[in-house]
Each structure stands twice: as structure tokens, then as C-alpha cells.
Structure 1
Amino acid sequence: MRFSSHGCGEAVLLIHGMPTNGHLWDDVVRLLSRSYQCFAVDLPGKHGTPFVPYGPSYFKEVADQIEQVRIRSRVECWHVVGHDGGAAIAVQYAHYYPQRVRCLSLLSPAVFSDLRPPFPLSLLRIPILGEILAPLVHILFWQIIMRRAMPNACTAAQRESFQSEFVGLSAPWQFMQLVRWGKPEMVFKDFPQILRNLTCPTLLIHGSRDVLPASFARRASEMIPHSKLAMFDSGHFIPLEQSDKVAATLDELFRLRAARNDVATLVHV
């Protein structure tokens, strides 16, 4: 698994979603790395990390890859942050390796079985029709939808980075493969129970103009013990649109966790 590391201090793991890569967090890392060591991973199939076929063991395999990053980097434990589908990976990592997670933060969490890809991506999930429409949907998505979702000049570099992984004659069908990640009712069927069993302090962040329903974040907040929900004035790509606020909010969460640990240690002594 490819990753970048910046800064020093307590470790922070940052996990992107679809169709982005680790550069989603560039601005957040620039701010957080003043006080923390930030690790931005590239999930399987993105930015040079080998593709892992989707299947029943997908989440466990990816969680194990992330754990290997932690071991190689000699990190004892870290704060874990995920966006979109990366939030699902973050939840599963916290599920399989709870002793390694200090705090958890889920931005625009895509973690429920009623998740549906937005039109026109849903067309790519239809056999045969998806293969036929892949070139058209590919152009529509990157040239119109993503440009509207990331209109600012300051996010152009990240948008180009995301799109650069889908170039060449086979790019539309590679993108189609990414969209066909599995049936939500099967992929997320165990998530409600997993969310209820999480033990680490958790912050959920959702954008008021997000394409994902705000009910996802609210439901997750209601299920996860020791969790809070924050609503930001943002679209879906919160780490790009509100990088300053995301970094400040995460810093506050991490410092509060550290303060509670100090108090607990004093009481124990």
C-alpha cells in the first residue's frame, strides 16, 4: 500500500474515498503536520497501490494492509480519519484493530446498505449497458460532474490527480470496474452492529450540500457510542472545501482525547 508521511508528533491516518486518492488530504495534511505525523494512504487500485478484487474479505484485506503500514512506520497507535468510502475502511480498521485507534473521524460516511451511486454512475453498474455507456459516462463524470463539485482553481491540482489514474483507451472500463464495487446490501450488512461496538471517541462530519444524505451521518452518530456530529457548510469533498475547518476540528478532537488520557493516568496513579 502506497502512502505519504509528513510532520511529527502523534500519528494520524487519513483514508480517501472514491474516486479520489491520498492527495484529497493535501491541504489538511499541510495544516495538521505542524503538530502531528500525518499518513495519507492510497487505497487498492489508486495511485500505484495494487488493485484488490472486491469480495467478502475485501475490508479485512485492506485493514491488514493498513496495519502493515503502521508496523513498517513504527507507529504504536494513531487517530484514524476517513472520507466517503474511506470512512467504511476506517470503521473496519477500528473494528479489526481497536487497540490501535485513538480517535475516529468519519467525513461523509458511506456506511449503510441503502447507499446508492448517483446518476449517471448507477448506469455503469448495469451489465452490458454499463460497458456500452462507459466512455460517455466517463467523460460526463470527469468533465462536468467533478468540475462542478470541485470548481475552485485551488482544487484543480487534486482533481487532475484523481483523473490522471483513468487515462488511455481502457480508462472508461477501469472506472466502471471501480464503480462496480459490490452490492451495498451485502457490503454493508454487518456495519450497524460494527458501529454499535466501536469504543473509541468518534466525530462525524457531514456537508450541508453533500450528495450523500445527511441521514447517514445522523444514523451513524446515533449508533456509535461516544460520538458527536458536526455539520459543515460544504459539498461532498469536505477536506478540499473546508480544509482549515477540518484540520482545526480534528486538532481539537485529538487534543481533547489526549487531555482525557492525562486525567485518566493521574487518577490511576
Structure 2
Amino acid sequence: MTTTPLVLLHGLGMSALAWDDVVPALSRHHVVFAATMLGHRGGPRVTRHPAGIDALATDIERRMDERGWETAHFAGNSLGGWVALELARRGRARSVCALTPAGFWTAGGHGHTVAAPIIRRMAVLTRLTRPVAPIGLRSATIRRFALRDVAERGERVGPRRILAITDDLLACDILDDYLPGTEQIAPLDPLPCPVTLAWAERDHLLPVSINATIARERVPQARFEILTGAGHVPMLDSPRRVVRAILDTTARAELSPR
């Protein structure tokens, strides 16, 4: 294991628990910090709304400073990928592996109109079904249905894990800050560090045909790959594939001249 830090950033409405299946493998190679971001269950509280990308990135910078880390490798999923790319823009990243990152849409809403209604529906259904979830999630069919928007193999995820995902979503304090889609990722060219855009093949929220296309236009020098058979949160479907994508990215960065 190297002493190089690796920071993991989850998606909107989730928490550091999203990385549970990949942390053990990654910890054999890096000092891993799975952060729960500002405004999410278990993370720092929001004092002012809307809490935009600047606020989330600044909070991660503060926690890096507390650990004495000037730079770190980053891996982020969805919103976490967006924050990771912002930290690269600020010069705090040695590398970024962005897994289906959010923020790649247009000012007119193209690329965001798919995700927002799905997330709103997820939040409503989660709130309505939470009282009976401990019983219903004993069924593999129900587990697959519960995670259908973010995973292709939801039946493989245990009931306790899905309950934690449920509670993370219900406790998210900044959900409404991001659903309007008023912010977006600006072009990042040239790259400040090695960047991988690893897109889930079966992402229903941020489809490859729309959002990945915009991403490749705005970050043209990034290494691009498809995570076959995976949904929006690929750590749930293909943890080994996610580990490989992250470690391939950090290895490229360690070999690159600075």
C-alpha cells in the first residue's frame, strides 16, 4: 500500500456507505477516506441554501486540510464525480475517476430533464414505503424493484444495505438544491491531472447517449470507458470493475511526470 490518499465521493442522496463494497480492495493500495458530503446523512450540516458545488468542494478541501493533504486522488459517483472534477480544477487532485458524473447537461436543460423526475419519484416512493420496507425487502423481487433506477442487479443487495440507502435519501438536506439543474460543469481542457470518465452502460438517470456525449465534448482529453452491465451507482453492480477503473487511474497518475 502507498501512503497516497484516495478520497471517495458519493452521489446525491447517498453517503459514504455507497463505497462499502470497494473500500477493502482500494485500501490495499491507498489511504482511503470515504467522505459523506455536506448536507447528507452523517455529513456536515448545511447552514445556507442552496448549497452549490462550490460549497461541497470547499467542505472537502477543509477536510483535506485537516488531514494535511495538499492533494489526493479522487473517485466520485454522480454528484461526487462532479465535485471531484471541481477539485481537480482547483488543483487539489492527483487524479480523478468520475463514475457517471452529474453536471454534464446544457443551460436549456438537455441532459437534466431525464434525471430530475426520476429522483423526485424515488424520493416520494421511498418516503411512502419506508414503514413497510423492512418486511418488503426480504423479497429479491422487491429489492430489484426498489433499486431499479440506480442498479441493474438490485436483488443482490441485502435488505439492510437498501434500508441504509433509503434512509440516506430521506435524510438528504440538499436534494432540492440540485434538482433544478441550474449549475453545470464547465469545459475542462486542458486537464489539470489524469481524468477517467467511467460511464455506466445502463445508467437510466444520466444516459450514455446524452450525458456521456456532453461529457466527452467538455473534457475531451479524459480517458473514457464504459462500465458494461452497470447502473447509475456502479459500485452496487460491478464493484470489482469499479476498483479496477479507480486503480488504473491512480496508477497512471503516479507514473505521470509532475
Same fold judged by TM-score > 0.5?
yes
Cα offset for 1:197?
A: 5.4
Match of 1:160 in 2: 163
CA distance in 1, matches of 2:53, 2:181: 15
1:196 to 174, 189, 211: 189
Structure 1 residues 45 and 251: alpha-carbon distance in aligned structure 2, compared to 1, 3 A threshold: same
Over the matched positions of the two proteins, sequence identity in percent amounts to 23
Which region of structure 1 is more displaced relative to structure 2, 25-34 or 219-228?
A: 219-228
Of 139, 156, 159, the residue aligned with 2:128 is 139
Higher helix share: 1
Larger Rg: 1
Shift of 1:121: 3.8
Measure how far apart 1:178 and its partner are.
4.2
Q: Provide closer, same or farther for how the CA distance between residues 118 and 59 of structure 1 changes in structure 2, counting only shifts above 3 A.
A: closer
Counterpart amino acid of residue 25 in structure 2: L
| TM, length-normalised to structure 1 | 0.75
Does the CA-based 8 Å contact 1:13-1:40 persist in structure 2? yes
- Number of the residue aligned with 2:203: 210
Matches within 5 A, 1:34-49: 34-49=28-43
Structure 1 residue 39 displacement after superposition: 0.9
- Equivalent position of 2:22 in the other structure: 28
Q: Deviations over 1:116-158 (max 9, x none)?
A: 335454469xxxxxxxxx7656336987653433523445443
- Aligned residue-pair number: 234
Structure number with greater CO (CA < 8 Å, separation at least 6) is: 2
SS in 2 for 1:209: coil
Instruction: Within 5 Å, give how 1:1-269 maps onto structure 2.
Output: 9-52=3-46, 53-55=48-50, 58-95=52-89, 97-98=90-91, 100-111=92-103, 112-113=105-106, 114=110, 115-116=112-113, 117=115, 119=117, 121-122=119-120, 136=125, 138-139=127-128, 145-148=145-148, 149=151, 151-165=154-168, 178-182=174-178, 184-188=180-184, 191-193=185-187, 195-196=188-189, 198-211=191-204, 212-214=206-208, 215-233=210-228, 234-261=230-257
- Contact kept, 8 Å, 1:199 with 1:225, in 2: the verdict is no
Structure 2 counterpart SS, 1:89: helix
The root-mean-square deviation of aligned C-alpha atoms, in Å, is 2.8
Asked whether the equivalents of residues 217 and 229 of structure 1 are also in contact (C-alpha less than 8 Å), the reply is no
**CA–CA separation in structure 1 for the residues paired with 2:251 and 2:118:** 42
Alpha-carbon shift at residue 244 of structure 1 (Å): 0.8
